Amino acid sequence: MDTSLIWIAISIGAIAIVALLLFVVNKDNDKNRLTPLAGSALAFIIAGIIFGEDELLGYSLMGVGVVLAFIDMYMRSKSR
């Protein structure tokens, strides 16, 4: 097995463990749920990582995701 495949498998496993822990810990806490705007921001950031070979497209998608995340944080801070 190639070394890079081993690292990819380890990182996927680590992400799966963290996601599982977050779902178990925040199961009853509706306050920290992912909003649709935050979900869109996450999707744009992941798309930016996936399309990272084309620098202009990758950085643009990541930028849109970061801006959406900041808008979501601002809206959540105003609602409290």
Alpha carbon distances (Å) from 79 to 11, 22, 39, 73, 76: 35, 23, 18, 10, 5
Q: What is the pLDDT of residue 22?
A: 66
* Averaged pLDDT score across all residues of the chain: 81
* Percent of the chain whose pLDDT exceeds 70: 84
Q: What is the pLDDT of residues 23-45, one digit of tens each?
A: 666 666 656 678 889 888 888 88
Question: Residue 45: which residues within 8 A CB-CB, separation 6 or more?
Answer: 61, 62, 65, 66, 69
